[in-house]
Structure 1
Amino acid sequence: MASGSDEDDLTAFFVPASMRVVRTMPALDRKHLKTAILFKWVARGWQLGRVKKKLPRNDGGFNFNVYYGIDDRESSHCLSQERYVGGVVEGASENEVGQVADGSWVAFEKVNK
């Protein structure tokens, strides 16, 4: 979901069908690669991606590569507990979700039917 105008900033992110927000940050180790996430970019707002690779910690604090289908690219991120907002956004209004800080992220898990 791209952001760019004041109106777009008020738009909540969407939860993919058959998935739900994980309330607390999951342990993103090798067994959790391919986890679907939403990451809030400064210029583009909330974007859906998939965790692809665990990185060794570096000076920039990046610890994971995330693939984004919207531009068919991977980006390095610091997916940290401090920036995880799963419990905050669950049940929040669209305006509240739009006000979450840039660099925040949430993870999804499949809902068993």
Structure 2
Amino acid sequence: MGQGKKSFLHHECWEVVKDCSRFKIIPTGPAVVLNETPLHDSPLDSPMEMESPLPHPPRPIGRKTAKAKRGSTSNNECVQFLEQIAKNTALRIERDLKREEADMSRQEAFAIQQQHA
């Protein structure tokens, strides 16, 4: 390997992917002329028609957009999950307070019974 030159060793791989649309070479330069005469003489083969690009398939969704979409649903799920935890905690606190009140009233009733006995 010389200065800045690299040899390509994966020819089998190229044979597989060379026909994929991603690797097609689309000419973007000026029309080829021979002796200052355009090669396409007939009006049907005008350079404008030759240079018009092939219609591209719609682009696949990007990673950032996909993550943002995924994040918005998971964010929503997180919010619902946290709200459920808050509700459960509030219910548990309320239940514990009622138990404590019931225990206190039982203890008071027991103390009153002990005093009268």
Interval containing the TM-score (normalised by the shorter chain): under 0.3
Structure 1 length as normaliser, TM-score? 0.19
Structure number with higher helix proportion: 2
Structure number with higher strand proportion: 1
Larger-Rg structure: 2
Structure 2 length as normaliser, TM-score? 0.18
